[in-house]
Amino acid sequence: MTLLAAVFVVCMAFVTATLSGVFGMAGGLVLMGALALVLPVQAAFVSHGILQLVANGWRSILHRKHVRWDIVGWYALASLIAGLIVAGLSFTPSKPLLFLLLGLVPFLTWLPQRWINLDAARPPQAFLSGLTVTGLNLTAGVAGPLLDIFFVRTELTRHAIVATKAATQVFTHLAKILVYGAPLVTGVAIGMPPLWVFAIAIPLSMAGTYVGGLILDRMSDVNFKRWTRWIVTAVGVSYLIRAAQLFAAG
């Protein structure tokens, strides 16, 4: 990894943690694409998992009084099952396919709400969210917009939504680290960044999460939901353009 690429990863760790601290999902989407630009796909998955595990874990701690732990419990159980299934399939997307999937995922936010009758506050649907969101995260790299569908009809406040989603994503990213990081244990090189990059990026992720929380406090629930949709859509379009470029070049 070049020094420029390392600095890029470190900076994006802060920026995307701030985004996630405000919107709950935009940061992870941006970070996955940023890592895929400078790292091999498998290394991008593991690096994304490590940084997002810290950012989401710290966010859930900062907002722990707002977390709905009953939702998190059902989600965690389903994440374990999804992780075992994907690990058994030994699937790793190519870089063009990864950007294509990253570009398509945000458009889930535009599904008409009348089509959606999901509520993560209900145990069976909390379990379903863990199964589907973790599965998509392990194949497309991110699944924030899909997770958001399960919270559209909840009566939770914006703080409870961000806090609960952060706690659930701890288990999703842990699954990502275990599934794609297995080659590290066996000694297979997958182009991971050096440890000093994580040593700097992790505390910056925590700082970004704190800054995002301050911004969240100043937003209304209406602005929160409106801006989330437009930001992730814009990011998705940029990823679709990148996917088209990669498919054309390959």
What is 73-122 written as a DSSP string? HHHHHHHHHHHHHHHHHT----HHHHHHHHHHGGGGGGS-GGG----TTS
pLDDT tens digits, 118-170: 889 999 999 999 999 999 999 999 888 888 888 877 888 878 888 999 899 99
Q: Tell me the whole-structure pTM to 2 decimals.
A: 0.87
Tally of helices (H runs) and strands (E runs) in the chain: 11, 0
Report the alpha-carbon distance of residue 114 to residue 86 in Å, rounded: 31
**DSSP 3-state of 181:** coil
Are the C-beta atoms of residues 33 and 243 closer than 8 Å to each other?
Answer: no
User: What single-letter DSSP state applies at residue 192?
Assistant: P
pLDDT at 91 over 90: no
The stretch 92-105 carries a mean pLDDT of 93
The stretch 108-112 carries a mean pLDDT of 82
pLDDT at 233 over 80: yes
- Is the Cα torsion angle 249, 13, 217, 72 positive or negative in sign? positive
Per-residue confidence (pLDDT) for residue 230, from 0 to 100: 84
Helix/strand/coil percent split, the chain, to 5: 80, 0, 20
